[in-house]
Structure 1
Amino acid sequence: MAVAIDLKRIQRGLELGSGATSDFDLNPNAERFASSQLKVAGVLVPFIERDSGLNLILTKRASHLKHHPGQIALPGGRMDAGDVDVTATALREAHEEIGLLPENVEVIGSLPAHETVSRYAMTPIIGRVKGDFAAICEPGEVAEVFEVPAHFVLDPDNFRVESRLWRGAIRSYYTVPYGPYYIWGATARVLKGLAERVSKCRS
């Protein structure tokens, strides 16, 4: 039976202290980068209240992209010079990628920066989408926008570990598949970290 997830419970989970996550959590022997080599990025973790309950908005990246084509991702990207902080980065990118106006997002917290294998320090910004929202995909970046029930993606029991050969070595990673959508890698690791926090709280 699914456990109810609401924004108050997510907020309480964000208040719990825990360390940062990384793509190296399951691969401790892989070569890592100095913090000075990491590029700053922000992603939005946007929750929206629907009649059926709380959902998480995710994107499927365009198939022609050079990096991570066709993968499931949170809206976001690299910090630009004009961004005042990483929250501004996440909100700007969400506007560009899926047409979500910054003023229609209530920021409720953040997670520690997540280190990726692509040399980013990626800060997840947790937000509530206010009112109704219909996505407008940026075709140069996004192939599809879809929603996943929060009770599914924030249940630690729905995550599993898989492995594959990458750059001559076996690398392990988290996945949380939902229907036709294969959610894995950094996106799954960030969501697992949030799920672990939320699971420690009760509505």
Structure 2
Amino acid sequence: MSLSTDIRPFSVADFRARVARLSTHGDGEAGDHLIDPALDRLHDRHLRDAAVLVPVVAREPEATVLLTVRTEHLPSHAGQIAFPGGKIDDGDRSALHAALREAEEEIGLVRDVIEPIGQLEPYVSNSGFRIVPVLSVVAPDFTLTINEHEVADAFEVPLSFLMTTSNHRRSSKIHEGLYRMFYEMPYGDRYIWGVTAGILRRIYERLYGDEA
């Protein structure tokens, strides 16, 4: 993917250009089953529709990605790092609407500072969700109001770190009684893994992978 040399790598302008050049929405499939062969029948399960917001913050000179830490008492993915998002409710008009609603409910990220610029094909998770990643650019002057029932913390990671393949590690462990294989992207004391790392890896493959 050849971009103009006057656009800084990993800037928000570079990210916009890559999203604009996506060939199609729905190019193949993505999901935990492509990382972990033991999950090769995920597509046969009844899946619940969900959406997440991928908030790329327009920092200069390099963009960042805003992530959350789920609280420890939640019934699923407790304590894990995640994108803002959740189930698509009956009242949601679209995956985009659900992602924007959840971002505002979870961390107070209001729609006025969010510019949706694209979507990736759904990511199928081992937990039974078909997740639509909504790619967006977020104005850097946002403020957050964290819903402490759902979110313990929010933080930013440089886009350059997340989109560099040497930071993507395949790993495995026993999780909830099952042997799991997955991607992990440790960043300082933040442990990004599982579905979130899988979606980030898919973003890398779709936007940056041909430059590896």
TM-score, normalised with respect to structure 1:
0.90
Runs (5+) with no aligned partner, structure 2: 1-7
After superposing on structure 2, the runs of 4+ consecutive aligned residues of structure 1 that deviate more than 3 Å are 11-14, 33-36, 166-169
Runs (5+) with no aligned partner, structure 1: none
For residues 25 and 178 of structure 1, what CA distance do their matches in structure 2 show? 24
Q: Deviations over 1:28-61 (max 9, x none)?
A: 2336345671111000000112245211000000
Identify the structure with bigger relative contact order (alpha carbons < 8 Å, sequence gap 6+).
1
Q: Deviations over 1:98-122 (max 9, x none)?
A: 1011232111111110001111000
Residue 11 (structure 1) aligned with residue 12 (structure 2): no
For residues 116 and 102 of structure 2, what CA distance do their matches in structure 1 show? 15
Q: Deviations over 1:84-105 (max 9, x none)?
A: 0010000000000110112321
Which position in structure 1 is the counterpart of 2:31? 22
Rate the CA distance shift 1:67–1:36 in 2: closer, same or farther, 3 A. closer
1:42-81 matches, within 5 Å, as: 42-51=51-60, 53-81=62-90
1:95-110 matches, within 5 Å, as: 95-110=104-119
For residues 148 and 130 of structure 1, what CA distance do their matches in structure 2 show? 15
Native 8 Å contact 1:13 1:201 kept in 2: no
For residues 30 and 167 of structure 1, what CA distance do their matches in structure 2 show? 15
Which one-letter code corresponds to 2:9 in the other structure? A
Residue 195 (structure 1) aligned with residue 207 (structure 2): no
- Residue 189 of structure 1 deviates from its aligned partner by 0.6
Of 108-117 and 46-55, deviating more is: 46-55
Native 8 Å contact 2:105 2:147 kept in 1: yes
1:1-203 matches, within 5 Å, as: 4-14=9-19, 15-16=22-23, 18-30=27-39, 32-34=41-43, 37-51=46-60, 53-166=62-175, 168-200=177-209
For residues 138 and 30 of structure 1, what CA distance do their matches in structure 2 show? 33
Native 8 Å contact 2:45 2:128 kept in 1: no
TM-score, normalised with respect to structure 2:
0.86
Which one-letter code corresponds to 1:98 in the other structure? I
For residues 193 and 131 of structure 1, what CA distance do their matches in structure 2 show? 25
Native 8 Å contact 2:67 2:156 kept in 1: yes
> In percent, how many aligned pairs have the same letter?
36
- Residue 65 of structure 1 deviates from its aligned partner by 1.1
Of 167-176 and 8-17, deviating more is: 8-17
For residues 177 and 149 of structure 2, what CA distance do their matches in structure 1 show? 31
